[in-house]
Structure 1
Amino acid sequence: MLRSLFRKWRESRNASLQLDAILAAADPDALLADRNQWLIELAYWLRRDGNLDAGAEAGGAGSRSFPVHVRLRYLLQVLARHPDWADSFARTVRSIVRDNDPTSLFCDTGVASHPGIWSEMADRLQARFLPPPPNRSDMAGLFALLFVDENDADWVEALDDELVERFAQALLVGAEDGADGGAEEGDGVKRLRKAREATLTASIQVLVSQVRATGLSQAIRSRLRGRVDETPFFRLDRAVAALCEDGLAHDDGAFVHRLNYFRGLLDGCHAAARQVYEDLEENGVSVEVVFQIERMKARLARIDLLLTAWVDPSHHGRHAHLIAELIRSTQARRSVGHLMSSSFAQLARKVVERSAESGEHYITRDRKEYRELMRAAMGGGLVTVLTVYLKFLIYGLHLDKFIEGFLASLNYAGSFLAIHFAHFTLATKQPAMTGPALAHRLDGAGRPEGREIFVDDTIAMIRSNAAAIFGNLSVVFPVALAIEWGVGKAFGAHLLTPAKAIATIESFSILGPTPLYAIFTGVLLWLSSLIAGWADNWFALHRVHDVMAYNRRLRYVLGQRGAMRLADFWKRNLSGITANVSLGFLLGLGPEILSFFGPHMEVRHVTLSTGSIGAAIGVLGLDALRMPSLWLAVAGIALMGVLNVAVSFALAFNMALRSRNLRRVDRREVVRAVRQRILRHPLSLLIPPRKAPDSAPEGSPSL
């Protein structure tokens, strides 16, 4: 029995009644819920798979691209052969249109209904699993139940004028004799058209009031230049009232003048939205403001659609386009991904651009910058030696896991901050910054000169990352080894026990989980760059620099100049401090938190791991060279370095491409150009040119 019920449940997805049973059940006097259910059943029949009678192919061969068109033609043929069915069909459909409120369909479909993004997200999640009930007089809910297939909008928009005209005539059967009721007999068609125009004008006015309210809200108004009464939002209500004045014919010169003025105001609203985006780009992105702007833009687009259908009602193709857009909006209304991408794209781009600005510092284009990077990387390796030994000390205490992770986080964060303020560098932090910087070069990669710039920066990026890794490892390994060897010679005891040294070497084996842990570490490196970009955006958005510089108590304590210097310090260093502190806590506490909720994870950072290997060899001496596990660990560290860099770079580069919405370039041409450069000048991957190429960005900062 359960199997039978499951089979019926699965078949019900596309099953429907036969057409004759559906048409015979049409009843314009039935309850609204029953009439709505009847129309939903008819929609399922239109999408139903299977062959029709041969007569279905007769008449009009121009719309064979969609099977739904064939079924629609067949429906019209059946109605033409059965006048009684045609009459009840037309009156039932008209009663459904009359008794369901169309304003919600025109004004609310596809437009966020909540004032905030998080409440809207919760509503969309609910809509995905809880469809609207069919017993409400809500045309938007009925639309959501009628058009459930992803191809519905396409077949509606592809309807030809002849088929649309035939279907419209089928819906008007019996309207001339006043069968729908009304004050006057024989004037049913005129009343239907007047009701349609009234619905369109009312919907336009509702949308205008919503756009005006958003445009005059504090969040938008404060980001626009000029006085409030000079904004297009302020004049919208009077313009739409004049346009929708009773008795004003569409062919009247006054109507045309008012229509052009109203369209000009709509263009001004779009320009104001772009002005708000420019302000966000300059002063920090607010997701809530972006959400409000995107919702306003959706309403402006809907006004334009309704305006086009209202001004020229004789053009049936525009009505089909309007319905298709409403279907697409209905289906997008259930998409959480669409909401997230439209609301967070601006913030993502701001975060990426901040990373790209930092990434420019890590791309060396001549030998002077290359030497400075090598010195900075060697300094970073020297600081990392202390980090390695403090890590051994912390984990040697065998404390609670959370306490260990917290102390390790403080160790990492302190080390990274020391590297930052000493103007040193840690190699694995670079790819998450250089990825967005390199992605920006793809803007012009479709042209030969732009492709040459991209190739130059790609080679420089590879060379810079390799130099930074070499600089880190060339110091951290010998210094860690020398310290352990020197302590053993001087005091006759080592900081590490031999058993701990052997376990450390074996933990980095390429045959173990090291590759997976290295990928996990690459993700953490990328996340720290996102956190840094978000913090920098928050600092700019809330004008924290100005708040600090003009704070009364800070000025009283530090003086006017001191408060300004403090504000400038945080403006320069907030992103770097946030990146280093967040990376420290991600590396220290991230594995512990993840292991508590899911699989066990550990950090495998190439610089820290190389220092640990150096310390272990310092304990074991030359005998360690005869251990197979050492060479497996060396291979593991080599792969670790590749994965740390590749994963963080790939994630950052991909996010940069998505956030900037770059047009597609010929990937084969770009890859071929990079490959040819490497084959012609292989040493360019290791040795920089004496002078930076002319394609280098002006003012590119060095380390």
Structure 2
Amino acid sequence: MPPIRRSLRAPQAQLDPSIRKELGKGTITMEQLLCQLADPNANTTRLLTQLIDEIRPADAHDIDTARLHMARLSEILRDRPELRAALRDAITKLAQTHRHIELYTVTGILPNTGFVAELVRRIGHKLLPEVLDRGLLRTVLRRMYHQASDRHWVGGVGEDAWLELITAMRFDEVAASETMPPAAAEILRSLRVLSYWIAAGGVEPELLRLEPSLETYESPFLAQNVEMTAYLKATPEHWGKAPGDADERHLRVLFGQCQDVIERVRNTAARDGTSIRLTYHLQRLRQLLRRSEQLLDILEGVQNDRSGVAAYPPIVKLSMQLTCDECLRDNLRKHMRQNTELIALRVTDNASHRGDHYITNTPREYWSMARSAMIGGGVIAFMACLKLLLVGTQMPPLTGAILFCLNYGLGFCLIHILHGTVSTKQPAMTANTIAASIEEAGGKLRNIEAMTDLIARTCRSQIVAILGNIGIAIPLAALIAWTVFKIGGTPFASPEEALYLLEAQSPVHGGAVFYAAIAGVCLFISGLISGYYDNYAAYNRIPERILQLDWPRRLFGESRRRHFATYVGDNLGALAGNFLFGVLLGGTTLFGLLLGLPIDIRHVAFSSAFVGVALVGLDFSAHLSAVVWAALGVGMIGFINLSVSFALAMDVALRSRQVSDAQWRTLGRSVLAHLLRRPMDFFLPPRTGGA
């Protein structure tokens, strides 16, 4: 065996002897496999699978080892012309003898069957694997990368490592054919199928409803199919010659116009409402267009450089993507997450518009938010006292839970009608607004400084809302309890009950922190509910449908009917979210009772009101330590309420826009730096009108 002249001496010098020994074993095995590939009767698929097994690291996340194995294989191919010829011929044979269409048109593209059907299919294939068609290139790929964890190292080694490997195979050593190779013909067939699907997707009824110009003027979705047909006909005739009619530039222009239509429809849907089906359909159209462009990139590279070297980058990029997608073909978690992101995008697009009202920019808006929060705190004080009265009646659990739900739900709706603010309702809405400012395409952050400033404005708006709620809830609840005592002569809460109320808010005498987290989850869910019903009202044109009813006009008159229809359209999501948030809070205790679990909720505004009632019950004097712990508990409850609901809402909103963890960390570092540099921005408004 000839020595490896251009070995990885520098990297190996840094490895321990056991790893170098393992790499040495891999080298011998790789060479033996490559020698066997030269046998015309060899099982090519099996040998290539074994070759991938030699590259595969023991730990799929061990990217460095995988990269070293690939570098060693590349070194062998560069040093041994007969071995690289064997590997090159084997890959060419597979490409010429297997069908490509399903790999290019199905792998990594959302199915047209919908969420439930695809979920059932994946579960069925998990329980009983499907029979693979040996004539498909997709089947070969599955067998070569037969471990689902392969996606980690395949994508982790990076495009450069794969480019080095394909370059080492020296496909340019093979004389270019004057006729179209079978692999290029397979790409053309795949482009035909993709074009048909794009054209069919462009005439979906929901798409036409939101973009009427597709019916009035020539649709780019249909025009691209006409152009694609001409391109597919001309390409074989002009293979190896000047592009002529086989120029794909006009196709790319039409693909760009299709993307523009999709973006317009998405923006319209964000304003006028959308459906899960439409969101799913738009995402699938994007994938079809992207796959078509990737295949055109490969054909363009091959035609511009007959050696094929120019086509290496698009081939590597698409191959890595297809491999990773095939590894996840039956993955239930990916399917659930992918569709959850689509639903989240649908909801957050609408919730984000409402979140603008919870973020202040100027001092005037800041103090207006404070006054609005005071209204909310006043209503909550009455709601808290009413709950204590209901608790004192010793009702059956189910009856009590229903009344608690009505107390919470109707009270929150009343706050909204009175233009008040509940501080903890803000995070789920403002998180969507922050996420909506992130560019959807690729989830790229447009302007880190602008995003950081938006988060700072959000924080100070939520802080003043909490202070407004607490600042009114505590003294007003205490005033109500004192008034009841003076009028009736009976304490609103006995000393024992008052002490219990204080201990219930304490972070050390009970599960207040855990219960506050449960309330935070309820807040997050209510934010999604608000977004859903805002979208529902817009998409189903609820105001317009109300205006078609005659009986409201006969009973209330035309002016009141129009005012009511407008109010429902603007506030259905807020009212539904507030009422159902109340149902969640009121029903949590009953849910825990039914399951035998110690589940309860703690909401910062209600906890502060209970502290006010307890102070009157203790005559403002005794149990100073309990009061101090309760005050600390209220602060912690508020922090947990806000942080849990905001974190959950932000996570869903960012995932729906496919923002990477690295970008999220970049934003986090920017926020921390802003906090250290200008901390007052997070607490007080600017002196001038700007934020």
Shorter-chain TM-score category? 0.7 to 0.9
Which of the numbers 514, 517, 526 marks the counterpart of 2:515? 517
1:277 paired to 2:295: no
Give the drift of 1:364: 7.5
- Would the aligned equivalents of 1:387 and 1:412 in 2 still touch at CA under 8 Å? yes
1:695 paired to 2:684: no
- Would the aligned equivalents of 1:518 and 1:604 in 2 still touch at CA under 8 Å? yes
Give the drift of 1:522: 2.5
Aligned counterpart, 2:412: 416
Aligned counterpart, 1:629: 626
1:241 paired to 2:216: no
Aligned counterpart, 1:46: 55
Give the drift of 1:547: 1.9
1:182-208: CA deviation from partner (whole Å, max 9, x where unpaired): xxxxxxx95995322321211111111
- Would the aligned equivalents of 2:481 and 2:613 in 1 still touch at CA under 8 Å? yes
Aligned positions of 1:662-677 closer than 5 A: 670-677=671-678
What secondary structure, in the 3-state scheme, does the structure 2 residue paired with 1:472 have?
helix
Aligned counterpart, 1:231: 219
Aligned counterpart, 2:98: 100
Aligned counterpart, 2:524: 526
1:398-454: CA deviation from partner (whole Å, max 9, x where unpaired): 44544432221111112112222223333333444455557778988656xx59965
1:534 and 1:456 map into 2 onto residues whose CA distance is 27
Which of the numbers 540, 543, 546 marks the counterpart of 1:542? 540
1:175-228: CA deviation from partner (whole Å, max 9, x where unpaired): x9xxxxxxxxxxxx9599532232121111111111111112212233224253
- Quickly say closer, same or farther: Cα 1:376–1:290, change in 2 above 3 A: closer
Give the drift of 1:331: 1.9
1:370 and 1:74 map into 2 onto residues whose CA distance is 68
1:534 and 1:598 map into 2 onto residues whose CA distance is 32
1:547 and 1:467 map into 2 onto residues whose CA distance is 41
Aligned counterpart, 2:187: 200
What code does the residue aligned with 2:262 have? Answer: A
- Quickly say closer, same or farther: Cα 1:326–1:400, change in 2 above 3 A: farther
What code does the residue aligned with 1:286 have? Answer: S
1:545 and 1:15 map into 2 onto residues whose CA distance is 70
Give the drift of 1:498: 4.7
Aligned counterpart, 2:169: 166
Give the drift of 1:321: 3.0
2:347 and 2:26 map into 1 onto residues whose CA distance is 44
Aligned positions of 1:5-44 closer than 5 A: 18-19=29-30, 20=32, 24=36, 36-44=45-53
1:222 paired to 2:214: no
- Quickly say closer, same or farther: Cα 1:440–1:543, change in 2 above 3 A: closer
Give the drift of 1:111: 0.9
- Would the aligned equivalents of 1:405 and 1:589 in 2 still touch at CA under 8 Å? yes
- Quickly say closer, same or farther: Cα 1:522–1:505, change in 2 above 3 A: same
What code does the residue aligned with 1:642 have? Answer: F
Aligned counterpart, 2:16: none
- Would the aligned equivalents of 1:69 and 1:159 in 2 still touch at CA under 8 Å? no
- Would the aligned equivalents of 2:431 and 2:650 in 1 still touch at CA under 8 Å? yes
- Would the aligned equivalents of 1:364 and 1:460 in 2 still touch at CA under 8 Å? no
2:454 and 2:584 map into 1 onto residues whose CA distance is 32
- Would the aligned equivalents of 1:405 and 1:592 in 2 still touch at CA under 8 Å? yes
Give the drift of 1:562: 4.5
Aligned positions of 1:295-694 closer than 5 A: 295-313=284-302, 314=306, 315-319=308-312, 321-332=314-325, 334=328, 335-336=334-335, 339-340=338-339, 343-344=342-343, 346-360=345-359, 363=360, 365-366=362-363, 372-435=368-431, 446=448, 454=454, 457=457, 460-461=460-461, 464-487=464-487, 490-491=488-489, 493-511=490-508, 512-551=510-549, 560-593=558-591, 596=594, 599-621=597-619, 625-626=622-623, 628-652=625-649, 670-678=671-679, 685=683, 693-694=688-689
Once structures 1 and 2 are overlaid, which stretch shifts more, 522-531 or 101-110?
A: 522-531
Identify unmatched segments of 5+ residues in structure 2. Answer: 1-24, 60-64, 329-333, 439-444
**How high is the sequence identity, in percent, across the aligned residues?**
21
What secondary structure, in the 3-state scheme, does the structure 2 residue paired with 1:621 have?
coil
Once structures 1 and 2 are overlaid, which stretch shifts more, 574-583 or 206-215?
A: 574-583
1:274-308: CA deviation from partner (whole Å, max 9, x where unpaired): 22222212212333212212212211122122223
Aligned counterpart, 2:257: 268
1:164 and 1:264 map into 2 onto residues whose CA distance is 31
Aligned positions of 1:64-143 closer than 5 A: 66-74=68-76, 80=82, 86=86, 96-123=94-121, 136-143=134-141
Give the drift of 1:477: 3.5
- Quickly say closer, same or farther: Cα 1:323–1:219, change in 2 above 3 A: farther
What secondary structure, in the 3-state scheme, does the structure 2 residue paired with 1:245 have?
helix
* Higher Rg of the two aligned structures: 1
- Would the aligned equivalents of 1:159 and 1:320 in 2 still touch at CA under 8 Å? no
Aligned counterpart, 1:7: none
Give the drift of 1:460: 4.5
TM-score normalised according to structure 1 size: 0.77
What secondary structure, in the 3-state scheme, does the structure 1 residue paired with 2:111 have?
coil
- Quickly say closer, same or farther: Cα 1:626–1:259, change in 2 above 3 A: closer
RMSD: 4.3
1:429 and 1:615 map into 2 onto residues whose CA distance is 24
1:37-59: CA deviation from partner (whole Å, max 9, x where unpaired): 44323321233679xxxxxxxxx
Identify unmatched segments of 5+ residues in structure 1. Answer: 1-13, 51-62, 177-188, 697-703
- Quickly say closer, same or farther: Cα 1:145–1:291, change in 2 above 3 A: farther
- Would the aligned equivalents of 1:284 and 1:538 in 2 still touch at CA under 8 Å? yes
1:649-684: CA deviation from partner (whole Å, max 9, x where unpaired): 4444555555567877676565454445457x9xx9
What secondary structure, in the 3-state scheme, does the structure 2 residue paired with 1:423 have?
coil
- Quickly say closer, same or farther: Cα 1:601–1:22, change in 2 above 3 A: farther
Once structures 1 and 2 are overlaid, which stretch shifts more, 35-44 or 209-218?
A: 35-44
What secondary structure, in the 3-state scheme, does the structure 2 residue paired with 1:336 have?
helix
2:477 and 2:168 map into 1 onto residues whose CA distance is 81
- Would the aligned equivalents of 1:109 and 1:326 in 2 still touch at CA under 8 Å? no
1:237 and 1:364 map into 2 onto residues whose CA distance is 49
- Would the aligned equivalents of 1:436 and 1:653 in 2 still touch at CA under 8 Å? yes
Give the drift of 1:146: 2.0
- Quickly say closer, same or farther: Cα 1:445–1:465, change in 2 above 3 A: farther
Once structures 1 and 2 are overlaid, which stretch shifts more, 198-207 or 123-132?
A: 123-132
1:246-269: CA deviation from partner (whole Å, max 9, x where unpaired): 652146667347533333222222
What code does the residue aligned with 1:465 have? Answer: A
What secondary structure, in the 3-state scheme, does the structure 2 residue paired with 1:150 have?
helix
- Would the aligned equivalents of 1:28 and 1:91 in 2 still touch at CA under 8 Å? no
1:434 and 1:339 map into 2 onto residues whose CA distance is 23
What code does the residue aligned with 1:693 have? Answer: T
Once structures 1 and 2 are overlaid, which stretch shifts more, 590-599 or 39-48?
A: 590-599
- Quickly say closer, same or farther: Cα 1:279–1:482, change in 2 above 3 A: same
TM-score normalised according to structure 2 size: 0.78
What code does the residue aligned with 2:355 have? Answer: A
- Quickly say closer, same or farther: Cα 1:206–1:24, change in 2 above 3 A: same
2:380 and 2:529 map into 1 onto residues whose CA distance is 23
- Quickly say closer, same or farther: Cα 1:445–1:221, change in 2 above 3 A: closer
- Would the aligned equivalents of 1:110 and 1:326 in 2 still touch at CA under 8 Å? no
Residues matched between the structures, number: 634
- Quickly say closer, same or farther: Cα 1:342–1:252, change in 2 above 3 A: farther
1:432 and 1:149 map into 2 onto residues whose CA distance is 34
